[in-house]
């Protein structure tokens, strides 16, 4: 236990929440592009979602370097799978299972990968969306998932408004709604996000764009009207 501090480390460059939902044709995922170095916003073009093989899409929050390490592991995994050349390829369920094992084993050695991951994909018409939560190795599957602050701010909205067979536009609108709340209320969020979609055909990650925010409440304009001395 003495070397826990040395091994467990602290995360240095972190990404904030990732949100994923199932929709009619597959999976939609959203994440912003910020990498915070403690309380400074150091990197503003970090791509936190990457396609894995033909069928999966991985989004990560937490330590960016650990995410990059994971990508290398997964790269190796996919490479070896391709080398078999047997016409079969690893689907999202398999990749999810592999990730769970990796995370759990690292935590057991007190040397965790400081991430919360969202893995989604479609294979042979079957949609799969699961998360592997952080350093601990907890994993579960659901129709809508989120990491970090997204759990507190986005999940309530998703629980109310998600339904089976969302169209692409509705799905994007829903994700944008959640990302807007996160932008307002999460201090490490930035207004530059990407939306990724994965269907039977393949993966598409949109170019970065920003959301429109509204600050025009009359109460914000003159908050102490009638309440002199407060702020």
Partner 1 sequence: MHAGRFLEYSLHTVQDLVHHKLLHLIEKQANSGDRIDLQVRCLAPDLPKVPFAKAFEEATEIISFRFFVPPFVWQPMKFFGVGSEQRLKEAIRVVHDSAEKMVTDQRIELSNAGSLDDRFDLLSRLIQIKNPDNQGEKGLCGIKMSKTAIEVPPKGGFSFDLCRRNEMLFKKGVQPPSYRKTGTTIVGLIFQDGVILGADTRATEGPIVCDKNCEKIHYMAPNIYCCGAGTAADTEAVTDMVSSQLQLHRYHTGRESRVVTALTLLKSHLFNYQGHVQAALVLGGVDVTGPHLHTIYPHGSTDTLPFATMGSGSLAAMAVFESKYREGLTKDEGINLVCEAICSGIFNDLGSGSNVDVCVITKGQKEYLRNHKLPNPRTYVNPKGYSFSKKIEVLSTKVTPLKERVEVIEGGEAMEE
Task: Give residues 69-128 in contact with partner 1 (rule: CB under 8 A).
Answer: none
Task: Give residues 130-189 in contact with partner 1 (rule: CB under 8 A).
Answer: 149, 152-157, 159-160, 177-178, 180-181, 184-185
**Which residue in 61, 64, 92, 63 sits closest to 78, CA to CA?**
92
Size of the site for partner 1 (CB under 8 A): 28
Q: Residue 76 CB, nearest distance to partner 1 (Å)?
A: 39
125 or 226: CB nearest partner 1 = 226
Residue ranges with strand state E in the chain: 13-15, 18-22, 26-32, 35-37, 40-43, 49-52, 56-63, 115-123, 126-133, 138-141, 144-146, 193-199, 203-205
Question: Side-chain half-sphere of 103: how many Cα atoms within 13 Å?
Answer: 25
State yes or no: residue 229 binds partner 1 (CB under 8 A).
yes
Block residue for tokens 């949100």: 19
Q: Is 177 left (phi over 0), alpha (psi -120 to 50) or beta?
A: alpha
Phi, psi of 134 (to 5 degrees): 35, -160
Residue 24 · residue 15 · CB < 8 Å: no
Three-point CA angle 71, 177, 155, nearest 5°: 65
**Which residue in 24, 18, 19, 20 sits closest to 163, CA to CA?**
24
Q: Residue 206 CB, nearest distance to partner 1 (Å)?
A: 21
Q: Residue 133 CB, nearest distance to partner 1 (Å)?
A: 17
Q: Residue 222 CB, nearest distance to partner 1 (Å)?
A: 10
Q: Residue 158 CB, nearest distance to partner 1 (Å)?
A: 10
180 or 205: CB nearest partner 1 = 180
Question: Side-chain half-sphere of 213: how many Cα atoms within 13 Å?
Answer: 13
Contact letters (x/-) for partner 1, 49-78, by CB under 8 A? ------------------------------
**Which residue in 142, 154, 214 sits closest to 179, CA to CA?**
154
Q: Residue 131 CB, nearest distance to partner 1 (Å)?
A: 17
151 or 199: CB nearest partner 1 = 151
Q: Residue 229 CB, nearest distance to partner 1 (Å)?
A: 7
For partner 1, the binding residue among 3, 10, 140, 231 (CB under 8 A) is: 231
Residues near partner 1, by CB under 8 A: 149, 152-157, 159-160, 177-178, 180-181, 184-185, 217-220, 223-231
């Amino acid at each position: 236990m003495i070397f826990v501090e040395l091994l467990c480390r602290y995360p240095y460059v972190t990404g904030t929440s990732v949100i994923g939902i199932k929709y009619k044709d597959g999976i939609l995922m959203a994440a912003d592009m910020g990498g915070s170095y403690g309380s400074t916003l150091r990197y503003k073009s970090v791509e936190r979602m990457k396609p894995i093989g033909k069928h999966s899409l991985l989004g990560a929050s937490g330590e960016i370097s650990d995410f990059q390490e994971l990508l290398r592991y997964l790269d190796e995994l996919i490479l070896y799978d391709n080398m078999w050349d047997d016409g079969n390829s690893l689907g999202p369920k398999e990749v999810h299972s592999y990730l769970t094992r990796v995370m759990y084993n690292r935590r057991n050695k007190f040397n965790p990968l400081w991430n919360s991951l969202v893995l989604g994909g479609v294979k042979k018409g079957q949609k799969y969306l699961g998360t592997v939560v952080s350093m601990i190795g907890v994993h579960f599957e659901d129709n809508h998932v989120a990491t970090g602050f997204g759990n507190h701010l986005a999940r309530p909205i998703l629980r109310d408004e998600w339904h089976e067979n969302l169209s692409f536009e509705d799905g994007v609108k829903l994700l944008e709604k959640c990302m807007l709340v996160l932008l307002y209320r999460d201090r490490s969020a930035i207004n530059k996000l990407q939306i990724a979609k994965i269907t039977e055909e393949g993966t598409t990650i949109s170019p970065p764009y920003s959301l429109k925010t509204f600050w025009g409440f009359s109460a914000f304009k003159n908050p102490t009207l009638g309440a002199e001395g407060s702020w």
